Amino acid sequence: MLFMDIKSEIRRRRTFAIISHPDAGKTTLTEKLLLFGGAIQTAGAVRSNKIRKTTTSDFMEIEKQRGISVSTSVMAFDYNDVRVNILDTPGHKDFAEDTYRTLSAVDSVILVVDCVKGVEEQTRKLMEVCRMRNTPVMIFVNKMDREGIYPYDLLDELEQELKITVCPYTWPIGNGKQFKGVYNLHKKEVQIFAPDKTSISESLISTKDLKDLKLREYVGTESINKLWEEIDFVNDMFESFNMSLYHEGYLAPLFFGSALNNFGVLELLETFLEIAPCPGPIQASERTVEPDEEQLTGFIFKIHANLDPKHHDRIAFMRISSGRFERNKFYFHTRSEKKMRFSSPTSFMANNKSIVEEAYPGDVVGLYDSGNFKIGDTLTEGELLHFKGVPSFSPEILREVNNLDPMKTKQLDKGVRQMTDEGVAQLFVQQPGNRKIIGTVGELQYEVIKFRLEHEYGARCSFSHLPFIKACWITTENKKELEEFLKRKSGAIAYDKEHNPVFFAESEWMLKLARENFPSLTFHNTSDFKTGKIKKGIIYSK
Ligand code: G4P
């Protein structure tokens, strides 16, 4: 009986993230999906969570935002009996690593691209992460109300740069100032919405007939005639939709629109609910975990420190991989091999936090934690299982921590350890002298760490620059060569929290040299080296 329940709960869940290069319209689109989904009534909720175009000195602002962003970490709502879980990802590039980790907890993504700017740096990087995991991707080309790259050229650019085949699901009616809405190539219909920044109303026009007089009048005869031609061309030229290729991550259904103006958003939402995958199997180091297994398994992909500086309690976000989660039941924390019970696990329905009695695969529950959890931890009902795929990425900025108050060494150590457990940054220790080196992918993290150490742990520190550009994990079968390398490069070697050796490269050239001189060593850009293999993106063609 329970088994059946779990299966139907899994089938009705869609857990995903919206990702983009900053400013492409991720926040606007998220809000519009919540509006169309009936989860909120006016826009503004997600926007307030945004870290605005920050400079390094804006960490005060970030502190303020941290509180708000707990409630938007997961935005769940029910639409047509589908439970939608949108996992929020930070927009600021310095927090890209949080985004990568969140991607380990979703079953698919919607990638937002600005039609004026096309593929940007973060678009490329995020897509690489999706390819590593074969995450199904839908693309939303936003800001079609602006004069952007010509749609065919943009599709070419997306295929070439993102190494994925695209399949238009909708097509724009007019461009730039003349953009009026989209044609749904699959339903063969048009639904026109009134442009409105903060709310939505019923569609103005809804028709399958392109000769519809009202439509012609609204859109203009020229745009309609052009649309006729383009539909023919698109049907001939582009890949038709194939569900398994989409689910395997080779084919991306593509939507045009303007999130700000409500154009193309409903088409995206409805198609997404229809075709996006429900929670599937998740790979653990020991075995593949099927979502409909009776026993609960889940992993922590994000930890949020509490805003109250006097209490170090935190919220750990757990993605449920299998079984049914129940409040007050004992679960097994596989890293510490201890049992844990949660009396007030939290669910996040749109913007309301509430205590949840049970949750299912695909759901995210917030677990109050006083410092037991680390990113990547697994909970089970007793099985010794470890989920993989929450990698740490090669930090590109490395700085040594200097303790400015020797009386507070313990507090400093604790703060640094806890913040790095939360995934704010990575900690490496170099010998001799137990030197603490913090690695990040962005400058902003150092400001955050300094500020939080002072306010939450009462410790003060400064950071000294180190002349390295990258930290790479090292693996090899050749122990002797590794020992030789560690000895020769001792000034540039440190150890991560799991005591894995890491090489700090001073330049790409030094890294190349190390690879040449020590051919049996492998230098990795992510800590996922034991399990994750980067699969080359394959362009599928007819
Ligand atoms: P992000 O989360 O990806 O960083 O992007 P966000 O939604 O904040 O959008 C970035 C800017 O782009 C915002 O303008 C937003 O209003 C605008 N925008 C989003 N969708 C569209 C669209 O469909 N068409 C047009 N023309 N603009 C769009 P802003 O001026 O930076 O912020 P705001 O003052 O409007 O909040």
Q: What is the predicted pLDDT for the residue at 323?
A: 96
Give tens-digit pLDDT for 42-99. 766 666 555 554 444 455 566 555 555 666 678 899 999 999 999 988 766 677 777 8
CA angle in degrees (0–180, nearest 5) for 41-44-50: 145
Distance of CA 394 to the CA centre of its chain: 17
| Paired sense of beta strands 314-322 and 297-305, if any | antiparallel
Please give the distance, rounded to the nearest whole angstrom, from the Cα atom of residue 205 to the centre of ligand 1. Answer: 25
| Contacts of 98 by beta carbon, 8 Å cutoff, 6+ apart | 89, 90, 302, 423
Q: What is the predicted pLDDT for the residue at 306?
A: 61
Q: How far apart are CA 144 and CA 142, in angstroms?
A: 6
> In ligand 1, which atom is closest to the CA atom of 22?
4
Q: How far apart are CA 445 and CA 449, in angstroms?
A: 6
Q: Which of 320-334, 348-362, 461-475, 482-496 has the lowest mean pLDDT?
A: 348-362
Please give the distance, rounded to the nearest whole angstrom, from the Cα atom of residue 259 to the centre of ligand 1. Answer: 8
| Paired sense of beta strands 205-207 and 251-256, if any | unpaired
> Does 90 contact ligand 1 (Cβ within 6 A)?
no
Give tens-digit pLDDT for 127-182. 988 988 899 999 999 999 999 898 999 999 999 999 999 999 999 998 888 888 89
Percentage of the chain beyond pLDDT 70 is 87
Q: What is the predicted pLDDT for the residue at 196?
A: 76
Instruction: Give the pLDDT band of residue 388 (cuts 50, 70, 90).
Output: confident
Domains parsed from the chain with CATH numbers: 7-275 (3.40.50.300), 282-380 (3.40.50.300), 397-539 (3.30.70.3280)
Calculated CA dihedral for residues 213, 216, 222, 227, nearest 10 degrees = -110
> In ligand 1, which atom is closest to the CA atom of 24?
3
Could you tell me the maximum CA-CA distance found in the chain, to the nearest angstrom?
80
pLDDT surpassing 50 at residue 537: no
Ligand 1 mutation target, pool 29, 175, 260, 261, most atoms within 8 A of CB: 260
> In ligand 1, which atom is closest to the CA atom of 142?
23
Instruction: Give the pLDDT band of residue 540 (cuts 50, 70, 90).
Output: very low
Q: What is the predicted pLDDT for the residue at 49?
A: 55
User: Tokens 């429900």 belong to which residue?
Assistant: 278
Alpha carbon nearest to ligand 1 atom 15, residue: 25
Closest CA to 461 of 403, 420, 501: 403
Q: What is the predicted pLDDT for the residue at 258?
A: 94
Reading the block at residue 281, the tokens are 């199997």
> Does 64 contact ligand 1 (Cβ within 6 A)?
no
Alpha carbon nearest to ligand 1 atom 10, residue: 23
> Does 258 contact ligand 1 (Cβ within 6 A)?
yes
> Does 471 contact ligand 1 (Cβ within 6 A)?
no
| Contacts of 493 by beta carbon, 8 Å cutoff, 6+ apart | 430, 486, 501, 502, 503, 504
Q: What is the mean pLDDT of the segment spanning 269-284?
A: 94
CB burial class (10 A; 0-12, 13-18, 19+) of residue 542? exposed
Give tens-digit pLDDT for 451-477. 889 888 899 999 999 999 989 989 888
Please give the distance, rounded to the nearest whole angstrom, from the Cα atom of residue 22 to the centre of ligand 1. Answer: 10
Please give the distance, rounded to the nearest whole angstrom, from the Cα atom of residue 134 to the centre of ligand 1. Answer: 29
Q: What is the mean pLDDT of the segment spanning 185-203?
A: 80
End-to-end Cα separation, the chain, in angstroms:
44
Q: How far apart are CA 198 and CA 204, in angstroms?
A: 17
Q: Which helix (H) or strand (E) holds 268?
A: helix 265-275
Cα–Cα distances in angstroms (integers) from residue 176 to residues 219, 240, 257, in the given order: 13, 27, 11
Please give the distance, rounded to the nearest whole angstrom, from the Cα atom of residue 114 to the centre of ligand 1. Answer: 10
Q: What is the predicted pLDDT for the residue at 535?
A: 28
Q: What is the predicted pLDDT for the residue at 529?
A: 52
Q: What is the mean pLDDT of the segment spanning 492-518?
A: 92
Phi then psi for residue 280, to 5 deg, are -115, -170
| Residue 432, preceding peptide bond in cis (omega within 30° of 0) | yes
Closest CA to 237 of 173, 167, 161: 167
Specify whether the CB–CB gap between 363 and 76 falls below 8 A: yes
> Does 117 contact ligand 1 (Cβ within 6 A)?
no
> Does 25 contact ligand 1 (Cβ within 6 A)?
yes
pLDDT surpassing 60 at residue 320: yes
| Contacts of 42 by beta carbon, 8 Å cutoff, 6+ apart | 35, 198, 199
> Does 37 contact ligand 1 (Cβ within 6 A)?
no
Please give the distance, rounded to the nearest whole angstrom, from the Cα atom of residue 171 to the centre of ligand 1. Answer: 21
Reading the block at residue 152, the tokens are 């065919």
Specify whether the CB–CB gap between 309 and 453 falls below 8 A: no
Count of alpha carbons within 13 angstroms of residue 366, beta-carbon side: 26
